Amino acid sequence: MENNNIDFKDLWKKQAVSQPNMEDLLERVSQFKKASLRSLWKTNIMLLATSAFIIFIWIYYQPQFISTKIGIVLVVLGMVVYLFVSNKLFGNYKDIDATQDNHEYLQKLVSIQKKQQFLQTNMMSLYFLMLTTGICLYMYEYASRMSILGASLTYGITLLWILFNWFYVRPKQIKKQQSKINSLIEKFEAVNHQLES
């Protein structure tokens, strides 16, 4: 250990290595494929089921007012937009080209994180707005048949619930996502900076 010429290459290659069977690896490939497909299905089925339920109401109860129909369309559209964006985010990661050099790859990672940050914040707000407007329009037909007290109670409680979500749940959710993404962006940028010195 006293000399200056430690044979790092020799030490490096002495690291114990065990090569797993290729069958095990291919087994993991198929597991991996199934898992990512499953997670995709879960969100989509949930949202699709909700949309199907609303369409069912449309057909079954035959709403008379145009406001009810617009309301239903807005709610379903809100969900479709949300679904589309989350699927797109999912795709972003898969499409990232793993065969570029580290410098380009890190830049790509940073840009994807930034895009995700933008989408998450804005889409969440848009989703909330569409849902709120949709629900308010949808309720109008049924509320118009109620007494004034009944109608204001129905709207009051619904709006209170929405306000709670908008001012409490939404910012909290956004903050949580943001801090996670921000620390990732910071880290990726720091690593990329190592290549710029």
Partner 1 sequence: MEFEQIYKTYWDRIFRLCMGFVNDYDIAQDLAQETFIIVWQKLDTFRNESAIGTWIFRIASNNCLRQIEKQKRFPKSDLPIHLSEEKQQSIEPQIQFLYKCIAELPETDRIIISLELEEVKQAEIAKIVGLSEANVRVKIHRIKEKLTQKFKENGKQ
Residues near partner 1 (CB under 8 A) are 1-2, 4, 6, 8-9, 11-20, 22, 25-26, 28-29, 32, 98-106, 109, 180, 183-184, 187-188, 191, 194-195
Q: Minimum distance from CB of 30 to partner 1 (Å)? A: 10
Torsion of CA 30, 96, 81, 37, to 10 degrees: 0
User: Which of residues 45 and 176 has its CB atom nearest to partner 1 in the complex?
Assistant: 176
The residue length of the chain stands at 197
Of the CA atoms within 13 Å of residue 26, those in its CB half-sphere come to 3
Q: Minimum distance from CB of 99 to partner 1 (Å)? A: 5
Q: Minimum distance from CB of 186 to partner 1 (Å)? A: 11
User: Which of residues 60 and 101 has its CB atom nearest to partner 1 in the complex?
Assistant: 101
Q: Minimum distance from CB of 101 to partner 1 (Å)? A: 3
User: Which of residues 86 and 133 has its CB atom nearest to partner 1 in the complex?
Assistant: 86
Q: Minimum distance from CB of 120 to partner 1 (Å)? A: 16
User: Which of residues 44 and 179 has its CB atom nearest to partner 1 in the complex?
Assistant: 179
User: Which of residues 74 and 112 has its CB atom nearest to partner 1 in the complex?
Assistant: 112
